[in-house]
Amino acid sequence: MSLTRIEGNLSASGRKFGIVAARWNEIFTERLLQGAIDAILRHGGTEDAITVVRVPGSFEIPLACRELCKTRKVDAVVAVGTLIRGDTSHYELIAGELAGGLQRVMFETGVPVAFGVVTAENMEQAMARSGAKAGNKGWEAAQAAIEMANLVLRLKE
């Protein structure tokens, strides 16, 4: 008996990607967006294969992702935004709805959506996760999107 292994790879060549980026907390989100773009380009993607959609805040990301996925013009989408905990429950509400919304988009459309939204306790954590000491979550999410785009295409073969 032979074991079958199916996995994606990190080649963005020939693939099309969407990036949905929130404008809120733009000082961090812009760095996440640039990290995602850079990851796609460094893994063989091209600028003309990337569509960037801007939305007001992280709460709006799932709807834009869904509409982009429904076009069937992208092989995967990267969602980027930044949520910073405050003094109210707003942070938890938005983070939970965002994660669940993105998961529903994937299940409804079959298009991978990578979670590149930083959820931070404070500004220092947000900075660290958007390109400083803790890496760039936009870059990491783009790598996940590349791998999942290739995996989904292999599963359909």
Distance, CA of 139 to CA of 80 (rounded, Å): 10
pLDDT value, residue 157: 81
Residue with the two structure tokens 């460094």: 42
Contact between 76 and 17 under an 8 Å Cβ cutoff? The reply is: yes
Give the pair of three-digit tokens for residue 138: 């936009």
pTM over the 0.85 mark: yes
- Write out the H or E segment, with its range, that includes residue 21: strand 17-22
Distance, CA of 103 to CA of 118 (rounded, Å): 16
pLDDT value, residue 154: 93
Give the pair of three-digit tokens for residue 156: 């359909």
pLDDT at 134 > cutoff 70: no
Contact between 40 and 17 under an 8 Å Cβ cutoff? The reply is: yes
Alpha-carbon distances of 38 from 34, 128, 136, 145, rounded to whole Å: 6, 18, 11, 13
pLDDT at 91 > cutoff 90: no
pLDDT at 90 > cutoff 80: no
Domains and CATH numbers, the chain: 17-149 (3.40.50.960)
Q: How far apart are the first and last CA of the chain?
A: 22
Q: How confident is the model at residue 104 (pLDDT cuts 50, 70, 90)?
A: very high
Distance, CA of 98 to CA of 62 (rounded, Å): 6
User: Which position has the higher pLDDT, 84 or 21?
Assistant: 21
The residues annotated with a catalytic role in the active site are: 90
